[in-house]
Structure 1
């Protein structure tokens, strides 16, 4: 049928290492090495992968200590599939996990890049400034 929406499938699992590395780069996130992904992905608290015809086109993860702190990371959608509500579906699935599994008082955080802040606001995330600011340190072995 012409003009029909593609049949996307949401899987409640972290992406494969190859899909993870590919989706980060093509969506504009910083690249991560295969070695880092091999170590990090098994530590996913909750993962979501969106596929079309068996190919990963979107992802998102939650990492954390499963009690006090959780961080939403790796929200990425292949640019060829953006503006179709996939980011919202990924966030909804991650927040469903939080609602079902995170204990009372758990702190859920994320870093919002650019206009993504509008998506996250729809799920109740608010800026923490001026009381707090996001800070980061990146390891560089070169």
Structure 2
């Protein structure tokens, strides 16, 4: 039957002063590098533009309009300083 895996990428956040150095891309590449060892896998993620362009390089496709990202929060968008 082989190994199966399901995981979700919630946030890959790179400090603005480090952006543009391929840190997010390298993290995604390393995280997904062993998927060929699995007989079946599912990885879902939530991301913001322009990060979708990075994930598209790894074969991710947009699920809209079949599914939508949603949030419920009690903190501002500036929670992480």
Aligned positions, number: 73
Larger RCO (CA under 8 A, 6+ residues apart)? 2
Q: What 5-or-longer segments of structure 1 have no aligned partner?
A: 1-65
Once the two structures are superposed, the pairs formed by residues 78-97 of structure 1 within 5 Å of their partners are 78-97=15-34
Q: What 5-or-longer segments of structure 2 have no aligned partner?
A: 76-81
Matched-pair contact (CA < 8 Å) for 2:9–2:45: yes
Larger helix share, 1 or 2: 1
Q: Distance in 2 between matches of 1:88 and 1:119?
A: 6
Q: CA deviation at 1:106?
A: 2.1
Larger strand share, 1 or 2: 1
Structure 1 runs (4+) deviating above 4 angstroms are 136-140
2:17 is aligned with 1:76:
no
Q: Please give the TM-score of this superposition, normalised by the length of structure 2.
A: 0.69
Q: Please give the TM-score of this superposition, normalised by the length of structure 1.
A: 0.43
Query: How big is the alpha-carbon RMSD for the aligned residues of Structure 1 and Structure 2?
Result: 2.6
